[in-house]
Chains A and B, each alone.
Chain A
């Protein structure tokens, strides 16, 4: 049964994604949310329509070189254009937990993730992406993360299980955004491990995060 998400990225984030100004790393979290959220897909389609209307607007035209049309016509029946390298899609197994585009970034479904234990109760797996740090997190059922604040933006998308913090209860497809103003202590639901995709900006956070994990963590 599909859960329809209740927590969504803010309009600024969807706009940056639709306009193409959002870096790859946060875009991966937004695009994975879109796979699970019909509401935001419709929102992004509307924002793309706005981009199309702005582009079609007659007031913004710059003359092009006289030879450009001939150059284009000469290429029409040439070989298909090379695209920037994309990740090869991974054929889905039965009932995949991870949707595209995340599955291709991982190279398979949840069972292929190579987890690394960070602190008791928490496993992580870094993904390679430009524009910030993205990682998968698996929080043991019923565990609480250490209380923490943020040095920048943090976007978390639940893929399995759920967690609760001061701002609400998050289930599959739900998108949590936190920034420097938020101080929270997420606690995984006690009916199974919680698997999330998380983005953090500011590379300096890597040491910061490591230091934070050294804080005594509290069992829920």
Chain B
């Protein structure tokens, strides 16, 4: 692949998917400057690995997969875990799931708090399918699991979301579409 072709693909990817990639990354890290950094990292990695892209998936799912990997790697980083543990100790009165300790709350909304109580693998499936509007097959490719697993996670994720909304006194109905 020539540099011109790679540049063209990069520009198309940034123009077409940039906003949504940044939003999906934000759904993991909940920190706007970090989401900005990781979005740029995602597109740089996308560009630098284009030569190795073998077309087993679409460029779109390839891009989302890099974004998810960048986000997960950041959440696993020692720096992030240290920040989260400090946050957690400041909020001892509110016990949360292990996954939620990876989330650094910045602009906290009630809906956001509901989402944080949903385990990350259900949450990310909801974001990719319902928010980024990836198909079940595309979501499966991005997350590296089977389409049936995605369907199961979507069903359980919707159910967990509904329960959490009820617990918090919301009247919203979580209709899939």
Q: Do A and B bind each other?
A: no
Q: Which residues of B contact A (CB under 8 A)?
A: none
